């Protein structure tokens, strides 16, 4: 199936139907891109509304019940529909086969099915809006989630179906990495993005089923009142939290590990230098993935969990800090004696290190039991995980999109606007979330519709920052759309990168490579 010159995966077939039934991982990646970006717009709109409501004390735009819905949908959309599928299913789908020199993922039909699972799951989630929405927060803590009288069941069912999407993607990636690497592509010649995706896939496969059963039990709880998590029937609500966090803590690493992989790619490419400590970074991905299963109780220090469990979980959480620190130091060391270009993707990568470092050290603070007692469920936690999830994952996704746009669409993006979007997002982000650390230290609890007057000035600052981020992402969206519609034709390897995806044409042909690539060295041989 060698293709004629000028024929690529985008123009080889046309029509909506050819997209909806495609088995090409690149097209499925693009479909994920469109859906994830749309969900991001919806989740982002909820964020803007939340910050509008919190602009001043008391009621600003909506009542408490509606605010709780905003908060719930913002959380649920951003976790289940944006960050979890964001890196693996969108960028991973497109680039995993390309970067290991494969023609496709191992199971293209399963890959397409995973996209439909996400779509159907999202549709079911939004269906809850016809039943007065949902107001439980994305964590669905029992017994409130059992008692509340609205469409929570639909949202839970949607998350359940979206779980399948995540599992199927992970399954596909594990098999693809094991079985479809190009000749010569040993495990330790794989790009670090692949290591990130691989360890993520392991978590997706091992943790998501537990979320599935937990949500299934919650649905049974709401429809038949089975009582397993309901204290009124003799059940234990804290056990729900164990089950929930057994998935949801590793899920945090589903969100961040592949983002770290992107950063390794960007740092090496834009400093034209081999990565410092390749094996340490690769192993730390696996290490983080493994240890992530042992630390979930740090979400529960004040939940009524026993003191012993709290201390054990605190200790284990410290262990996860070490591989994370290793990665950060190695990225910084990679810059040493490099040739650093301040292009937009690199700015996002450096922004990532900046914000992720702050997110990381505050994470250590939260892992210390005695200090977490004060910070738990305050804005300090909100700020911390936004620093990691937005400052980390979303910065990495945005940088990754810019970096790979030429490969995906064969066109160059507008560098100036892209850099401007970085400036807006970066400044807006810090203006939004740094004050929230202070608010949390002052004692402002999270998920609050209204707050004491003392918290008002910083909340105002935070809201202003949030709108700046919003504008920044609009500019980023403009860059993407402008690139697709009007971009100048891109060369095959505009950045001089060494990884395999840049060794084929832009955009790649249907089967990725016209001749089977053979790998003879490491991924970052900038000599």
Site for another protein in 343-372 (CB under 8 A): 350, 353-354, 357-358, 361-362, 364-365, 367-372
Residue indicated by tokens 């040493």: 336
Closest to another protein by CB, 56 or 277: 277
Which one of the spans 96-104, 120-128, 384-392, 468-476 is the region binding another protein (CB under 8 A)? 96-104
**CA-to-CA distance for 180 and 342, rounded, in angstroms?**
35
* Rounded Cα–Cα distance for residues 457 and 240 (Å): 37
198 token code pair: 């691989």
7 in contact with another protein (CB under 8 A): no
Which of 276, 387, 402, 433 binds another protein (CB under 8 A)? It is 276
Characterize 275-309 residue by residue with b for buried, 16 or more Cβ atoms within 10 angstroms of its Cβ, and e for exposed.
Answer: bbbbeebbbbbebbbbbbbbbbbbbbbebebeeee
Provide the 10 A C-beta neighbour count for residue 336. Answer: 9
Among 36, 50, 78, 102, binds another protein (CB under 8 A): 102
Which residues inside 374-403 make contact with another protein, applying CB under 8 A? 374, 376-378
Q: Does 3 bind another protein (CB under 8 A)?
A: no
Q: How far is the CB of 478 from another protein (least distance, A)?
A: 26
Residue 226 touches another protein, criterion: CB under 8 A: yes
Of residues 412 through 431, those in contact with another protein by CB under 8 A are none
The dihedrals phi and psi of 150, each to the nearest 5 degrees, come to: -160, -155
**What are the structure tokens assigned to 520, written together?**
């003879």
Structure token pair of residue 105: 């993922």
- If binding means CB under 8 A, how many residues of this protein chain bind another protein? 148
* Shortest distance, position 63 Cβ to another protein, whole Å: 8
Which residues from 115-174 bind another protein, rule CB under 8 A? 132, 135-137, 141, 143-144, 147-150, 167, 170-172, 174
213-249 burial: b if 16+ Cβ within 10 Å, else e:
ebbebbbebbeeebebbbeeeebebbebbbbbbbbbb
Using the rule CB under 8 A, is 313 a contact of another protein?
Answer: yes
Which position has the token pair 């690769």?
282
Question: Which residue matches tokens 């690199």?
Answer: 346
**Which of 3, 60, 305, 493 is the binder for another protein (CB under 8 A)?**
305
Region near another protein per CB under 8 A, out of 37-45, 327-335, 409-417, 459-467: 327-335
- Looking at the DSSP bridge assignments, the partners of residue 66 are none
Does residue 187 interact with another protein by CB under 8 A? Answer: no
Site for another protein in 61-90 (CB under 8 A): 64-65, 68
355: which 2 tokens? 């914000």
Q: Verify binding: residue 340, another protein, rule CB under 8 A.
A: yes
- Binding of residue 95 to another protein (CB under 8 A): no
Which single residue is written with the structure tokens 């990168």? Answer: 497
Looking at the Cβ atoms of 41 and 137, the one nearer to another protein is 137
CA-to-CA distance for 303 and 297, rounded, in angstroms?
Answer: 9
Applying CB under 8 A, which part among 332-340, 389-397, 399-407, 423-431 lies near another protein?
A: 332-340
Place of tokens 């029509």: 15
Could you tell me the smallest distance in angstroms from the CB atom of residue 446 to another protein?
A: 8
Integer angstrom CA distances of residue 510 from 89, 98, 450: 19, 11, 54
The C-alpha atoms of residue 356 and residue 252 are separated, in whole angstroms, by: 14
Task: Check residue 60 for interaction with another protein (CB under 8 A).
Answer: no
Query: CA-CA distance, 440 to 427, in Å (whole number)?
Result: 20
Q: Candidates 33-41, 303-311, 384-392, 479-487 — which segment interacts with another protein by CB under 8 A?
A: 303-311
Smaller CB separation from another protein, 41 or 228: 228
Phi, psi of 6 (to 5 degrees): 90, -15
Nearer to another protein, 384 or 473 (CB): 384
CA angle centred on 241, ends 309 and 144, rounded to 5°: 140
Q: Please say which residue, 360 or 410, places its beta carbon nearer to another protein.
A: 360
CB proximity list for 425: less than 8 A, separation 6 or greater:
351, 395, 398, 469, 472, 473, 476
CB 442 within 8 A of CB 462: no
Q: Which of 41, 42, 120, 341 binds another protein (CB under 8 A)?
A: 341
**According to the binding rule CB under 8 A, does residue 303 interact with another protein?**
yes
Closer residue to another protein (CB): 38 or 520: 520
| Binding of residue 56 to another protein (CB under 8 A) | no
92, 212, 261, 465: which one binds another protein (CB under 8 A)? 212
* Residues between 245 and 274 with contacts to another protein, criterion CB under 8 A: 246, 271-274
Q: How many CB atoms lie within 10 A of CB 488?
A: 10
> Smaller CB distance to another protein: residue 239 or 481?
239
User: Which of 7, 123, 302, 518 is the binder for another protein (CB under 8 A)?
Assistant: 302
Return the residue matching tokens 């109780």: 297
Using the rule CB under 8 A, give the single segment among 7-15, 232-240, 416-424, 485-493 that binds another protein.
232-240
Taking CB under 8 A as the rule, does residue 489 contact another protein?
Answer: no
Q: Does 447 bind another protein (CB under 8 A)?
A: yes
User: Among 27-35, 115-123, 339-347, 460-468, which window interacts with another protein (CB under 8 A)?
Assistant: 339-347
Q: Which residues contact 318 (CB under 8 A, 6 or more apart)?
A: 364, 367
- Torsion sign (Cα): 458, 459, 461, 465: positive
Under rule CB under 8 A, residue 18 binds another protein: no
User: Could you tell me the smallest distance in angstroms from the CB atom of residue 26 to another protein?
Assistant: 12
Contacts of 397 (CB under 8 A, 6+ apart): 86, 87, 90, 91, 259, 262
């Amino acid at each position: 199936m060698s293709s004629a010159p000028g024929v690529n995966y985008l123009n080889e077939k046309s029509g909506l139907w050819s997209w909806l039934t495609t088995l090409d991982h690149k097209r499925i990646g693009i479909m994920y891109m469109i859906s994830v970006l749309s969900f991001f717009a919806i989740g982002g709109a909820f964020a803007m509304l939340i910050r509008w409501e919190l602009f001043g004390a008391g009621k600003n735009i909506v009542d408490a019940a509606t605010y709780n819905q905003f908060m719930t949908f913002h959380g649920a959309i951003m976790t289940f529909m944006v960050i979890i599928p964001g890196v693996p299913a969108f960028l991973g789908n497109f680039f995993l086969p390309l970067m290991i020199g494969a023609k496709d993922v191992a199971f293209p039909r399963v890959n397409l099915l995973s996209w439909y699972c996400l779509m159907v799951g999202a549709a079911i989630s939004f269906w809850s809006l016809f039943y007065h929405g949902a107001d439980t927060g994305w964590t669905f803590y029992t017994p409130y989630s059992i008692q509340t009288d609205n469409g929570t069941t639909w949202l839970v069912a949607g998350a359940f179906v979206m779980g399948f999407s995540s599992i199927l993607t992970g399954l596909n990636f594990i098999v693809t990495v094991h079985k479809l690497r190009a000749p010569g592509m040993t495990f330790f010649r794989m790009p670090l993005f692949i290591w990130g995706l691989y360890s993520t896939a392991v978590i997706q496969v091992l943790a998501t089923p537990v979320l599935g059963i937990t949500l299934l039990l919650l649905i049974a709880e709401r429809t038949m009142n089975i009582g397993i998590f309901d204290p009124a029937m003799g059940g234990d609500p804290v056990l729900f939290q164990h089950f929930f966090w057994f998935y949801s803590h590793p899920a945090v690493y589903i969100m961040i590990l592949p983002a770290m992989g992107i950063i390794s790619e960007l740092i090496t490419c834009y400093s034209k230098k081999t990565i410092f400590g390749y094996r340490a970074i690769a192993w730390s991905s696996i290490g983080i993935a493994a240890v992530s299963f042992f630390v979930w109780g740090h979400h529960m220090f004040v939940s009524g969990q026993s003191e012993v469990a709290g201390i054990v979980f605190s200790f284990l959480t410290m262990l996860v800090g070490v591989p994370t620190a290793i990665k950060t130091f190695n990225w910084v060391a990679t810059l040493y004696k490099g040739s650093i270009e301040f292009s937009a993707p690199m700015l996002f990568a450096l922004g990532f290190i900046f914000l992720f470092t702050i997110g990381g050290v505050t994470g250590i603070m939260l892992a210390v039991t005695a200090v977490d007692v004060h910070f738990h469920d305050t804005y300090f936690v909100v700020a911390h995980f936004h620093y990691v999830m937005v400052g980390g994952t979303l910065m990495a996704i945005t940088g990754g999109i810019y970096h790979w746009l030429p490969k995906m669409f064969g066109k160059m993006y507008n560098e100036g606007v892209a850099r401007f979007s970085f400036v807006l997002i970066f400044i807006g982000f810090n203006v939004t979330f740094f004050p929230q650390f202070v608010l949390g230290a002052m004692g402002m609890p999270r998920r609050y519709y209204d707050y004491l007057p003392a918290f008002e000035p910083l909340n105002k600052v935070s809201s202003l920052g949030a709108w700046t981020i919003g504008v920044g992402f609009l500019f980023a969206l403009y860059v993407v759309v402008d690139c697709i519609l009007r971009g100048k034709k891109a060369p095959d390897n505009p950045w001089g990168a060494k990884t395999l995806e840049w060794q084929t044409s832009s955009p790649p042909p249907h089967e990725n490579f016209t001749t089977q690539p053979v790998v003879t060295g490491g991924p970052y041989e900038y000599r």
